Structure 1
C-alpha cells in the first residue's frame, strides 16, 4: 500500500528531533509498503534551516532506508511568536499544493497533530485523492493547552481548536493516540472505541548497531566522569521540562560528596538561564552539552548509568505518557528516574527504575545514596526487556499494518 504522512516536525537520520515516523516507516517499508513523509526543511529542534539552505527551491526529495521525505521550505523562526505561526501556516499551505501535484496516489493518509493545521492538511489531501484518512493526535489539543495553563477554557482559540479536533475525529477512519489512557479521552468525545488505535512511541532495537561516535568535545566530558555515576537527560530545555529539580538535587548531592554527575544534552529557551544558575550557585556536577544527532545518542547513553525524565506536574499526564527519550533510555538498558504523578507508567510496569511522585529532590538524592551499581544494572536490564516486548518498532508497525489492511479491504468491498 502507499502511505503518506503529514508531520511538520518529522526528521530523518543524522538529525536532531523526534524520529517516530521515520522509525515506523522503515519497518513498513521492510514489509513492502511505500511511505512518503511530508515535513518542514526547517528543523524545529535546532531552530535552523537544515535541507534547503541557500536554495531557491520550494521543496526537495530525499530517501533514507527506502522512506521518501519531501522537505518543504517554510518560514524560519527563533521563538514562539507570530513567525512560528507563519511557519505552521506556510507548511500547511505548501504541503497541500505539493501533495496535489504528486503523480502517485496514496491509499492511506496520516495527518499528525504536531499542530492542528498539519493534521487538517492530511485530511484535505486524503479527501482530494479519495484516500483513507487517519488522524494522529499526538498531543490532546486543545486540552493540553488548558492543562498546561497556556490558555483558559474561555479563550476563543480553545473553542476554535476544539471544533477542529472534533471535525478531525469525525472525518478520520481511525484516530491514533500515543497514550494508553487517551483512548478514553477520544471516546469521551463521542468516538467509538474501535476507531481508536493506541500506538505509542517505540524503540529501534537495531539503533545501537548503527550508532555514530560523538564528537571529541562531547566524549571528553564523559571521559572526565569515568569514576562517577552519570545521570543523563536528553531533550528540550523548556519550562515544561522541569530541569530545575535536577539542579536542585545535583546541588545537594555535591554538598553530600556523593560521586554522581549530571549531563544535560539539548537546547531550548530555558538553557541559558539554567547554565547561569549552575554557575552562580557553583553547581559543578552538572554539565550542559549542545544537541547531537539522534544516531549519537545510543553511544552517549552507553556511557551513562541512569536516565532522567522530570516531567512537570500537570493534569495533562493523566492520559498517560510516551516520550521518545523514555524509550531511548530504557532501550539502552538505563534505569529511569521519572518524576510523574501517574500510575502504570512503563518504568513502573517494567520495574525499570523509580517513579517519584513528589519530593523529587529528596527522593533523587536518596536513590543515589542507597542504590548500588549492580542494582542499576538489574533495573536497566528490566527496562530493556520491557521495551523489546512492548515498544519495538517492528511490533508497532505490524499493529498499524493490520489495521490499514483491514480498512483497505473494507473500502474495496
Structure 2
C-alpha cells in the first residue's frame, strides 16, 4: 500500500514531541508499505525551525526507517496568536500544492485533526488523487475548545468547526479516534459504529533499549537528587497542561522539607510565566529544562521515580485520554500520578500509579510525601506490563493494516 499522512505537528527521530505517526509509519514500512508523512519543518513543541533553517526551499524530503517525511517550511510563532494561525494556513496550502504535484498516487490518505485545516487538506488530496480517505480525530474539535472554556458553544467559529467535523465524518471511509469512549462521541453525531476505529497512542518498546545519553546539565540535576523521589513531567507547557498544580504541590513539600524534587522538561507558551513563579516563590525543589530529543526520554525516565500528568478539569475527558507522555512513562516502567476526575484510566487498569481526583495540589503532595521507592518500582513494573500488552505499536499497526487492506480489497 501507498499511505500518505497529513499531520501538521508530526516529528521524526532526534526531535521532541509526539511520535504517533512516526512510530506507526515505521511499523507499516517494515511490513513493506510505502508511507509519506507531510509535516511542518517548524517544531510545535520546541517552537523552532528544525529542517529548513537558512533555506529558501519550500520543502525537503528525508527518509527515516524506510518512510518519507515531507518537511514543509512554515512561518515561526511563539504563542497562540495570529502568527500561529498563519503557520496553520501556510502548512495547509503548501501541503496541498506539494502533494498535488507528486507523481506517486496514494492508496489511502489520512488527514489528522491536530487542527481542522490539516485534516481537510487530507480530504482534498484524497479526492484529487482518487484515494481512500481516513479522518483521524485527535482532540474532538470543536468540543474540546468548548469544554476547555476557550470559546462558547454559540461562537460562530464553533458552528464552522462543527460543520467541518460533520463534513469529514461523512466523506471519510474510516474515522480514527484515540480515546476508548470517543467511539460513542462519533456515533452520537449520527455516524455508524462500524465506521469508527479506535487506535490509541502507543509506544515503541525498542526505543527503551537504545536510549541516548542525557545532557550533562540534566545528569547533574538527577545526580544531586538521587536519594530523593524525583517527579518528572515531560511535554508542552501550556494552559491546558495545568502545571501550576505541580508548583503548588512543590510549595507544600518544600515547606514540609520533604525529600522530593520536581523536574519539568519541555517548552510552551506558559513556561516563562511558570519559571518566574518558581523564582519568586523560591521553589528550590523545582527545575525547568529545555525539551529533549525523544530518543533521550527513556534515559531520563529511567532515572526518575514517578511521572506527572496533570490535566485541566474538563468535560471533554469523559471520552477518555491518550497522551503520548502517559505511555512514555508507563513504557519506561515509571508509575504515574494522574491528576484528573476520571474513571477507568490506563493508570487504574494497570495498577500503575495514582489517580488524584480532587484537591490536586494537596493530593499530589500527600502521595509524593508518603510513597516509598519500593512501592513506586512495583507500580512501574505493572505499568510496563500493561502497555506491552495494550499499547504496543507493533500490534496497533497490525490492527490498522488489517483494516486498510480490507478497505482496499473492497474497491477491487
Q: What TM-score comes out, normalization by structure 1 length? A: 0.98
CA distance in 2, matches of 1:332, 1:187: 35
CA separation of 1:299 and 1:168: change in aligned 2, threshold 3 A: same
1:202 aligns with 2:190: no
Equivalent residues in 2 for 1:8-407, closer than 5 Å: 8-407=8-407
Structure 1: runs of 5 or more not aligned:
none
> What SS class does the counterpart of residue 119 from structure 2 fall into?
helix
Partners in 2 of 1:286 and 1:344 — Cα distance? 31
1:141 is paired with a residue of what secondary structure? coil
* Structure 1: distance between partners of 2:56 and 2:249: 49
2:4 is aligned to 4
CA distance in 2, matches of 1:210, 1:98: 35
Asked whether the equivalents of residues 5 and 36 of structure 2 are also in contact (C-alpha less than 8 Å), the reply is yes
Compute the displacement of 1:370 (Å): 2.5
C-alpha distance in 2 between matches for 1:154 and 1:360 = 31
Check the 8 A contact 2:78/2:269 in 1, yes or no.
no
* Shift of residue 74, structure 1, vs aligned partner: 1.3
Counterparts of 2:275 and 2:330 in 1: how far apart (Å)?
27
Q: State the distance in 1 between where 2:373 and 2:43 align.
A: 38
Asked if 1 retains the 8 angstrom alpha-carbon contact of 2:38 and 2:70, the reply is: yes
Other structure's SS at 1:348 match: helix
Scaled by the length of structure 2, the TM-score of the pair is 0.99
Aligned residues: 412
Aligned partners of 2:153, 2:369: CA distance in 1, in Å? 44
Cα root mean square deviation, aligned: 0.9
* Counterparts of 1:405 and 1:20, CA distance in 2: 21
* Residue-by-residue CA offset, 1:70-111 (whole Å, 9 max, x unaligned): 111112222212221111111111111111111111000000
Specify the SS of the correspondent of 1:221.
Answer: helix
CA distance in 2, matches of 1:313, 1:199: 24
Matched position secondary structure for 1:385: helix
After TM superposition, the structure 1 stretch with the greater mean CA deviation from structure 2, 339-348 or 212-221, is 212-221
Q: After TM superposition, give the deviation of residue 371 of structure 1 in Å.
A: 2.0
User: What does the per-residue CA deviation read over 1:320-353, in whole Å, with 9 as the maximum and x for residues that have no partner?
Assistant: 0000000000000011000011111000000000
Aligned partners of 1:83, 1:244: CA distance in 2, in Å?
26
SS class of match (1:258): coil
Instruction: Give 3-state SS (helix, strand or coil) of 1:207's partner.
Output: helix
What secondary structure does 2:205 align onto? Answer: coil
CA distance in 1, matches of 2:255, 2:306: 20
Tell me how far 1:209 sits from its aligned partner. 2.1
Could you give the per-residue CA deviations for residues 285-328 of structure 1, whole angstroms, max 9, x where no partner exists? 11111111111111000110100001110111111000000000
Structure 2 CA distance for aligned equivalents of residues 87 and 237 of structure 1? 19
